[in-house]
Amino acid sequence: MAEKRVFTLSQVSQHKSKRDCWLVINGRVLNVTSFLDDHPGGEEVLLEVAGKDATKEFINIGHSNAAQNMLAKYQVGVLQGYVIKEADGTEGALAQEPKKKEMSAFVIKGDQSPKYAAFLEFFVPLLVAGSYFCYRYASQIV
Ligand code: HEM
């Protein structure tokens, strides 16, 4: 499991060498020293952001889900002030729930008046008016 030790960015910035390389991604403090040789994108990119918050860079590359799941393996703690969301996204699903309810209530409300009622309300007066004018026109001709 991921560690819960809390580090400040200034503490992380003291680990920026090839032999001791830390960085921050999404509030997780990662010790990627052992990963430098194995990183498919090369060690240089990791060393460039060593000791820093590399969240932007990590996201901009468009890392795969597999890469994102690897983060926990290198986590040594969290950045001060961050609340780490669980990988299964539970929080996000809960946040969306009220919206869905609101939407379904809206749809049910809209369905309450049957469609034929609208048809009758609109077309019956039109039919009556049309018949009247046809009658007037026909009686003028005769
Ligand atoms: C512990 C942190 C990281 C892990 C576990 C990781 C993992 C990976 C993996 C698995 C790939 C292969 C492609 C994929 O599956 O997405 C990859 C590619 C790459 N990564 Fe990372 N990465 C990390 C951090 C970073 C950071 C901070 C940067 C940039 C500063 C970076 C830059 C790249 C680049 C440039 C590639 C190559 C992309 C390509 O060839 O299209 N990575 N990384």
Looking at the fold, whether 60 and 116 belong to one and the same domain comes out as no
Evaluate if residue 87 carries a pLDDT over 90: no
Closest atom of ligand 1 relative to the 70 alpha carbon: 5
Distance, in Å, from the CA atom of 72 to the CA atom of 68, rounded to the nearest integer, reads 8
How many domains are contained in the chain? 2
Residue nearest to atom 7 of ligand 1 (CA): 67
Looking at the fold, whether 52 and 116 belong to one and the same domain comes out as no
Q: Whole domain around residue 129: which residue ranges? A: 90-141
Q: How far is the CA of 67 from the centre of ligand 1 (A)?
A: 7
Q: pTM of the prediction?
A: 0.67
Q: Is residue 23 part of a domain?
A: yes
Distance, in Å, from the CA atom of 24 to the CA atom of 134, rounded to the nearest integer, reads 81
- Asked if ipTM goes beyond 0.95, one says no
Q: What pLDDT, on a 0 to 100 scale, did the predictor assign at position 118?
A: 73
Select the more confidently predicted residue: 139 or 141: 139
CATH number of the CATH domain containing 25: 3.10.120.10
Evaluate if residue 85 carries a pLDDT over 70: no
Q: What pLDDT, on a 0 to 100 scale, did the predictor assign at position 89?
A: 45
